[in-house]
Amino acid sequence: MKPADLVRRSAAYLEAHGVESPRATAEALLMHYLGTDRAGLYARTDGLDARTAKLYGRALCQRCSGTPLQYLTGEQRFMELSLSVVPGVFVPRPETERLVEVALESIAAIPAPLVVDVGTGTGAVALAIKGSRPEARVLATDVSEAAVTLAAQNSARHGLNVAVHQGDLLSPLPADLRGRLDLLVSNPPYVTREEYETLPEEVRAEPYEALVGGTQVHERLVELAPAWLVPDGWLVVEIGADQGALVQALFEARLDQVEVLLDLAGRDRVVRGRARAR
């Protein structure tokens, strides 16, 4: 069977099992196992060999069972980066690109800024900032050993020098960085326990601790930020769509120039605030 015909049949199978974007999913999986792009996929006239057919069929079943597509292909695109992804590490989302945009805007006028990304996961936010601001010193932290290993691998893959440290929030950072950060940025776990139960199966296949947290981590970051940021340094965080007012209030207790910023869909997505003079 030609790949083009296989895509059609696979898309119908995925759709019957309730998988979103069934045709795009079938194409992505088949391109992955054939090692080709979309043009090469549809130009191909040969069928699949037995081994590839078996791997592809297994991946279709896994996708129907709720395994995220990115865990099957091992790749996720984020801004200009193609990032390696593995099970057990949070998959970066397109909406988090808004967090990076706000972070970069916040440090646009600062030469050679010092930046820390908390809860880095794959390293997506830290690497996107470093790619856009090569002269910046960028560090990243994560409590997960798997995430720290993966972020370091993605850093090496793209030749972007980001120092990745394992530990809770800012605790693994060198003490001499206190009071010197120009930007503290984070996409923390912000889904509530109640919301978690309603999430699609494929989202719940990702690590619980990378998803669920409400505004607890936001509150902890606000408490830590004044001691770690330079005066006028920025704390920039991603939030859930209904958390704008609550996180804004947390920020206003300790920071100035607090803003709730929207994503492209018009939903609250990012909150930022600036450290006060000491």
74-110 pLDDT, tens digit per residue, is 999 999 999 999 999 999 999 999 999 999 999 999 9
Question: What DSSP string runs through the chain?
Answer: --HHHHHHHHHHHHHHTT-SSHHHHHHHHHHHHHT--HHHHHH--S---HHHHHHHHHHHHHHHTT--HHHHHSEEEETTEEEE--TTSPPP-GGGHHHHHHHHHHTTTSSS-EEEEES-TTTHHHHHHHHH-TTSEEEEEES-HHHHHHHHHHHHHHT--EEEEESSTTTTS-GGGTTTEEEEEE----B-HHHHTTS-HHHHTS-GGGTB-TTHHHHHHHHHHHHHEEEEEEEEEE--TT-HHHHHHHHHTT-EEEEEEE-TTS-EEEEEEEPPP-
Catalytic residue among 68, 187, 189, 251: 187
1 to each of 40, 59, 146, how far by Cα in Å?
16, 18, 39
Question: Is residue 39 within 8 Å of residue 178, measured between CB atoms?
Answer: no
Per-residue pLDDT, 201 = 85
User: How far from chain centre, in Å, is Cα 69?
Assistant: 15
Q: Is 187 a catalytic residue?
A: yes
Per-residue pLDDT, 2 = 80
Per-residue pLDDT, 78 = 96
- Is domain 78-274 given the CATH code 3.30.70.360 in the classification? no
- The list of the chain residues with pLDDT below 70 reads none
> What are the structural domain ranges in the chain?
3-65, 78-274
14 to each of 10, 17, 25, how far by Cα in Å?
6, 5, 8
Q: Is 154 a catalytic residue?
A: no
Per-residue pLDDT, 207 = 92
Per-residue pLDDT, 65 = 86
Read off φ and ψ for residue 160, nearest 5 degrees: -110, 120
Mind listing the pLDDT tens digit for each residue in 245-269? 999 999 999 999 999 999 999 999 9
Catalytic residue among 90, 92, 113, 154: 90
Catalytic residue among 92, 188, 189, 251: 188
Per-residue pLDDT, 43 = 86
Report which of 239, 187, 245 is spatially closest to residue 215, judged by C-alpha positions: 239
